[in-house]
Structure 1
């Protein structure tokens, strides 16, 4: 049974029914669509609990949780893997889903508790599942048992409920008299870790591909410490230029240093034009090269310079070709001005690109043309020469209007970069890198190396690492970011919550709507770059997530005389009853009085239990509990604390799925996310998700006494706090690939800043942006993973 139901006011079946809902529910306005709903209370969900012991699909094992359900899918056995834990113990086995135990530091099979509907009906995971157990104190469950049949859709018990309530109350009173004096008669969990969250006992033993400190790199034969972070030197002049000769004759390609020694030893009269083009329009063939040089020659003479630089001729040395390509940014910085040569591309057989503007837009859609415009001399118009038109009358495009005219798809972003290089609107380093990367990733290029987008960005920055052909796109960008100290860009980037779980690492669309500069790393820094598109993050605080079950939670409450009196009555009711029996033998008047008194105490047992345990907590043991699926907040609190006493609430803004509303007192109140029909549909769809697809999990945080609905492909086995944003802390929920000792970002939650004091530091972690799905198949075909500990 669902705890709360939302009914659209404009789609309800009958007006009388709407009146009924309005009388018993409260209005709810969807924050995204503006649609009004009515929230109707239906009472807590009833879980089967230990009745699952008799399920046909139940499997048993020696250690807790003793009963579980096997997954429907398993990973293909492609080889044995090795893991070394924080205490240097080794495990060798097949790939499977595991987590690091906070108790002993070993990696154990991941077992996830799930709501009944998922546990019974959808064995669609690669991890084991178990049912949700009620771990609250037995006598609290007994005290609440008389009311657990009441349907709260009518606002509370009615006349038909009272006979059963009275009968159950009598039975509960008798039971409490025996249970209160038993060894299980405690409602407080054991305090652990001095009240802090469970630590995350993790250790990474490998080498980074690139370390921030040279002493941490792998020492190889012939390795020199001063080459740890090799930087590409800037060039003051181009290596070669095409120098003008007599009109009508082709330009003379010469080494610049030789030309200066022969004609201008001071170098003061050397000025050249930078000719920009794209091979899509001018392929590397003799005919198109001649056309290109004709345009360049005319443009140089019109500009009154002595030479021009053009890519198809001015990089003639094969052994320097790679360095020259990635130093074009220096060539454009030293140029007199920029001209662009365009023509209709040979592949345009239908003649769709028949105007200069369309040809120019095609030119502007290439990666390497983007920094050429940004770095061209400030304050000078860009001249556009079109093949086949009058070369004495080029099209003039003001640089500050280039974005609106040419880069139409991202004009608003590109214009900010132009203004920066024109000196009209100065961006800080973080803004510059963020906006430039966004623009470059939208443009096309024929890749020389996987990191070409980062190398194009490199030309816009001061420090340029040397090109490493073995770099992936991410590694090239990460090395560039580390070299330029881009305001902890990588530290911020890993803390973003992807709006789309399939978006690339360089996409900066945040699920919370924040910008990269809104995220502020707290005592966290990148210590190195991994070999598999990961980073080594140091200085984080972390906490383990317990997925296999809830656990008794220690708490603090203010003592009061009412609680003290209720406790004494509960503790002494059995002794008074025995004493009354003794007095009935020797002195009946006193015996009758004591008997009536003891029976009254027994009858008041459930009420005294409530009196003893009512009230708010002033401090709780920090735990992160998790389960798959969704339950109403009443059921969650009953499973942990035995009763719904209003201590636990839905989080207000801890997840993109969190929802809240303004109550009658103008207070911001968190509410069940499934009151939003869109979230309710997500919850329903996630029940049938296949491995690697997004699922719905609930994280229960007893440190803040909140529950949060999250979306992730895998259960995050830990939360790593790495940054602050908007007055809260960003905690990265990570799954663990034990075969490579890598944590992968599955989700990002926002937690109150107070959790920092309740979390322990974790040693340097290797963390990745996106985890690829390993090959899997039905469990009957691939079989269960096996492994063993290595002594």
Structure 2
């Protein structure tokens, strides 16, 4: 994907965090130098004029081993390749001998000496996140969210979010007795300081045939109440004013012989701080009510609960599910003078939600008909809440009478993160609402405070159909068809940045090589004395020749002349036998391969990849297509061996996509095809699912010091042991 034209960008290095300027092109952290370097990508068909430099596919294998292998193995078994092999054999033999004479140290590939290698890790990722956190998991961390400026935007310092306790209130919004009237109620951080030192605030109570808003603790404690749920636009757009609507609720209270009720129009706070606290405790309001009354607008057929669009319109609200699922009992009323009727949770779900499977699963679980694993239950709840509408935030777009309510500071539910605040009603720990934050910021905070569910960590390992350009960790679906609870995270979220990026701790990461195929070291089965002699003997060829040439011109008749001639002859024999001894020294079964992740733009066959990686070895290790590691993978299906279908190359090549890439893992000998907007340069191990590891492939945004998720592969979990642990990493936005 082409990047916008920017002449220059700046970033910081990984050592002293000194600023440096560079061209605004895709870059990566070089694992060998620790410097931010311009990305060069090898491609099957290099294209010019792109924002990323593309080059032909090459390898770093030494020349002599490649020539030796070409002496013993034709390119293929076709007649043409065999004929070319025979015709070029003398020329290749001569070139190989000359190389051995000039530079014999080039005679063995990396790892060939001694039959073992020292490097057992993937090239590491050296950069880490060095910026401030907007919100953190630990209260000891400095965060912008808790800084003075942001705190002033939210509320006084006493109204903080619960971090390590579960607060459950017995009545609507409560405050401490020693708080001044203008101070919003504080949220306790320990259970010991909870309900007994609080008194409830604000219920509408009938006293002496007069309805009045009461905040007297002693009086409220003696009254049972019901809560009201309604759709604001239905009430206001139908021509009913607030006063008329309130009168209808009081009439319903008389029908039900109730002397107290909770209605947001009358009972929610007037200041921003009080409104935030009311939203925080909204779940407790509906839990404590004797029943919840669903107020619907007047219908053409008020005797039929299923008539009109009233139920479907009401169910589009974000707060619908918390209101009904947390209630003890449900009732409904159609129109201002309609009778109040009982309705079961299942009946209401049929009226309001139809036959949606996820809504049905949630309702059945809450109704005790089905048992759902808690995380599964919360996952369904998130899905159905996310499909609900959002209250208008722009006063100009709200209905006329809603504008007047907002101007008075009465409307308390206009939050960008409204869906998250509705979802948090079902969690043990909650977060204090903060109007400027986005839903992803709020979701990250909710996930951190409820660590047992690890919502954000699970989302990170999922591969959605569309990866967001910002906050790319967020996911609603998974292209591998895995459910949310199927993923077992292996990382922890330490915090979230002001741009919505997750900061991860405990990551294992590896750099992906794009510029060429490296010289791969191996460990072989053959490491006996004869192979060792063959390896060492080749190194002495230039020395034998140098000694012989030095003494032959000066000694005419002496034993030294005979020795020099013998050395010259021995060196010549070694020179002739050199290619064969090199071939013998690099033979043997390969047991272990140095780990590398190598990327290529375009589709590459396993035969071609094996040729570039192991062209210096007579016995090549097996390289195979992945069976289920990518969304483009295809299982062979038949046979006794679990392996990828070889036809997947033809299918991928026929796609003719410019965003197609090939990844080769030398540790397991597996080839993966995937698509991405930008070539990923970092591979992160983030979790496990279905017997394989979840590996997130990311591109680097050095300017923002963040990574961006490009794709997710399912690779064998054991390879993470060859990845080096790194510091904090931020998974966030793509470079702009």
TM-score (norm 1): 0.73
Name the counterpart of 1:203: 128
Matched, 1:509 2:477: yes
Name the counterpart of 1:628: 601
User: Contact 2:168/2:284 (CA < 8 Å) preserved in 1?
Assistant: yes
Where do 5+ consecutive residues of structure 2 fail to align? 173-200, 394-413, 546-551, 553-567
Q: d(CA) in 1 for partners of 2:650 and 2:255?
A: 66
Name the counterpart of 1:176: 96
Instruction: Tell me: CA distance 1:287–1:619, structure 2 relative to 1, closer, same or farther (3 Å).
Output: same
Matched, 1:493 2:459: yes
Instruction: Tell me: CA distance 1:426–1:303, structure 2 relative to 1, closer, same or farther (3 Å).
Output: farther
Instruction: Tell me: CA distance 1:226–1:613, structure 2 relative to 1, closer, same or farther (3 Å).
Output: farther
Shift of 1:700: 1.8
- Among 329, 351, 357, the alignment partner of 1:405 is 351
How many residues are treated as equivalent by the alignment?
A: 651
Q: d(CA) in 2 for partners of 1:404 and 1:210?
A: 40
Name the counterpart of 2:109: 187
- Among 269, 284, 295, the alignment partner of 1:330 is 284
Instruction: Tell me: CA distance 1:638–1:557, structure 2 relative to 1, closer, same or farther (3 Å).
Output: same
Matched, 1:96 2:25: yes
Shift of 1:762: 0.1
User: Contact 1:244/1:297 (CA < 8 Å) preserved in 2?
Assistant: no
User: Contact 1:356/1:386 (CA < 8 Å) preserved in 2?
Assistant: no
- Among 642, 651, 661, the alignment partner of 2:636 is 661
Q: d(CA) in 2 for partners of 1:753 and 1:292?
A: 60
Deviations 1:146-182 (A, max 9, x none): 79987x6xxx334x66544422233333333334453
Tell me, what secondary structure is at the counterpart of 1:132? Answer: coil
Q: d(CA) in 1 for partners of 2:82 and 2:681?
A: 46
Instruction: Tell me: CA distance 1:762–1:568, structure 2 relative to 1, closer, same or farther (3 Å).
Output: closer
Tell me, what secondary structure is at the counterpart of 2:349? Answer: helix
Matched, 1:726 2:690: yes
Q: d(CA) in 2 for partners of 1:478 and 1:391?
A: 43
Q: d(CA) in 2 for partners of 1:535 and 1:82?
A: 20
Tell me, what secondary structure is at the counterpart of 1:183? Answer: helix
- Among 241, 253, 258, the alignment partner of 1:300 is 253
Name the counterpart of 1:767: 731
Name the counterpart of 2:296: 342
Name the counterpart of 1:434: 379
Q: d(CA) in 2 for partners of 1:183 and 1:439?
A: 67
User: Contact 1:280/1:345 (CA < 8 Å) preserved in 2?
Assistant: no
Name the counterpart of 2:627: 652
Q: d(CA) in 1 for partners of 2:22 and 2:91?
A: 53
Tell me, what secondary structure is at the counterpart of 1:214? Answer: coil
Shift of 1:355: 5.7
Shift of 1:414: 2.1
Q: d(CA) in 2 for partners of 1:193 and 1:472?
A: 48
Name the counterpart of 1:467: 433
Matched, 1:385 2:328: no
Q: d(CA) in 2 for partners of 1:412 and 1:608?
A: 70
Name the counterpart of 1:363: 314
Instruction: Tell me: CA distance 1:675–1:161, structure 2 relative to 1, closer, same or farther (3 Å).
Output: closer
Name the counterpart of 2:230: 277
Q: d(CA) in 2 for partners of 1:185 and 1:565?
A: 13
Q: d(CA) in 1 for partners of 2:81 and 2:284?
A: 84
Where do 5+ consecutive residues of structure 1 fail to align? 1-71, 347-352, 583-594, 687-694, 775-791
Q: d(CA) in 1 for partners of 2:13 and 2:92?
A: 52
Tell me, what secondary structure is at the counterpart of 1:500? Answer: coil
User: Contact 1:275/1:340 (CA < 8 Å) preserved in 2?
Assistant: yes
Name the counterpart of 1:236: 170
Q: Which moved more, 1:318-327 or 1:543-552?
A: 318-327
Shift of 1:606: 7.7
Shift of 1:256: 4.5
Instruction: Tell me: CA distance 1:561–1:101, structure 2 relative to 1, closer, same or farther (3 Å).
Output: closer
Q: Which runs of structure 2 are paired with 1:694-709 in the superposition (5 Å)?
A: 695-709=659-673
Q: d(CA) in 2 for partners of 1:404 and 1:609?
A: 78
Tell me, what secondary structure is at the counterpart of 2:106? Answer: coil
Tell me, what secondary structure is at the counterpart of 2:612? Answer: helix
Instruction: Tell me: CA distance 1:416–1:765, structure 2 relative to 1, closer, same or farther (3 Å).
Output: same
Shift of 1:544: 1.3
Name the counterpart of 2:410: none
Name the counterpart of 2:190: none
User: Contact 1:86/1:203 (CA < 8 Å) preserved in 2?
Assistant: no
